[in-house]
Structures are given as C-alpha cells and as structure tokens.
Amino acid sequence: MITLASSSPRRKALIQKIFKEIEVVHPNADESILEGESAREMVLRLSRIKADSIQRDNIVLAADTTVEIDGIILGKPENPDDAVRMLKMLSGKWHTVYTGVCIKYKEEKINFIESTDVKFYDLDDETIRAYVKTGLPLDKAGAYGVQEEMGMILVERIEGDFFNVVGLPISRIWWEMKKRRMFDI
C-alpha cells in the first residue's frame, strides 16, 4: 500500500497505473514560496513538508511541481487573467518543469528533483484565450496541462521525462523504490 500525499487527480491517476493499492490523503502544507528560494529548493522543501504531514506505517509519496522561466517561478494561476499572463510569458520560449519528490518508508526518506525542459509554440491571443476559457489551466503550475485536450497543442518540444511535466516522474519513482526493495514485483 502506498499513501499518496497529494490533492492532484493527475498524480493519483499516474501512481495508480503502477501501484493498485493506494490511499490518497490531502497533505497539510503551506505552499508559499520563501524569500530568495529557487524553484529547485522550493519543490524539494514542499515535497518533504507534504510527506512529513502524513503519518503512516506504509510508503508515503509526496511531490510538488513548479514551472520556472528566466528565474521566475510560475505556480498555479490565481485567476484567468493570471493564467493568460503566464501563458504569454511561456509563448515561444523554453522553460523548465521541476518536480520535487519525497518518499518515506520506515526510517528511510528519499528526496530528489526531476527536471524537464519544455518549449512552447508561439501562441496567439486567440489560442491562449480559448484555452483559459476551458478553465483547465487554473489548477496547474505554469497554467497548462500537457496531457489535456488543448494543453497538448501548446508544447512544441520536450526534453526529459514527459510524466514529470504531467506532475509525477513515475519511472524514476519506480526505480528509486525498487532499488531499495520497498515493494515486491
């Protein structure tokens, strides 16, 4: 059994593809960015806080994902106008998606970062408005979901783990847990 410390339906769907017995618990974590904190530091810290907020005897898995462009951290947009602003920032440019992962099991804690570089097409205002109008970008870091019907047309190129962009680097999680014998195949 794995306890997923997350409120993300995307993370739940991904983890269920490889582990059938899961429990989902919403973590108790203040997700504010600290002054002077980098995107990498933030996702590592928040994944640890989320994992530590859940006390279980089984494996606890927590993650935090953010988008960074030109040193600016893009979390979830506050409203549709903020989503438009973020998508305009990303238009035609490369950015990095960082996911911090924390896996707790017994006395062991694994904490790592996965990063993926993503390039957007040049987006026109009509496409941005149509995507934001769906409401889909409002609960996602960087205001987009690469796996969604309109979100998938924004991305020109991905260098790295596709599932990291969705919100959970599932392959790396599998291998990190397997080499520590946290589960049986």
pLDDT at residue 81 in the model = 98
Instruction: Provide the CA 143 distance to its chain's centre, in angstroms.
Output: 12
User: Phi-psi bin for 135: left (phi > 0), alpha (psi -120 to 50), beta?
Assistant: left
Catalytically annotated residues: 64
Using the predicted structure, report yes or no on whether residue 122 has a pLDDT greater than 90.
yes
Using the predicted structure, report yes or no on whether residue 31 has a pLDDT greater than 90.
no
Tell me how far apart the 2 most distant CA atoms of the chain are, in Å. 52
Q: Where are the alpha helices (DSSP H) in 61-142?
A: 80-90, 125-133
For 106, residues 6+ apart whose C-beta sits below 8 A from its C-beta are none
Q: What is the mean pLDDT of residues 142-157?
A: 94
Given a contact cutoff of 8 angstroms between Cβ atoms, the answer to whether 65 and 11 are in contact is: no
Instruction: Provide the CA 36 distance to its chain's centre, in angstroms.
Output: 21
pLDDT at residue 32 in the model = 85
pLDDT at residue 184 in the model = 79
Using the predicted structure, report yes or no on whether residue 138 has a pLDDT greater than 80.
yes
Burial class of residue 107, CB neighbours in 10 A (0-12, 13-18, 19+): exposed
Pairing type for strands 108-120 and 22-25 reads unpaired
Using the predicted structure, report yes or no on whether residue 48 has a pLDDT greater than 80.
yes
Distance CA 170, CA 61 (A): 11
Pairing type for strands 59-69 and 2-5 reads parallel
The answer to which of 19-23, 61-65, 81-85 has the lowest mean pLDDT is: 19-23
Q: What is the mean pLDDT of residues 2-17?
A: 93
This prediction has a pTM of 0.94
Q: What is the mean pLDDT of residues 172-182?
A: 94
Higher pLDDT pick, 110 / 185: 110
Q: What is the mean pLDDT of residues 95-112?
A: 96
Q: What is the mean pLDDT of residues 77-91?
A: 98
Using the predicted structure, report yes or no on whether residue 177 has a pLDDT greater than 90.
yes
Q: What is the CA radius of gyration of the chain?
A: 16
Under the banding of pLDDT at 50, 70 and 90, the label for residue 142 is: very high
Token output for 185: 């195949």
Using the predicted structure, report yes or no on whether residue 185 has a pLDDT greater than 80.
no
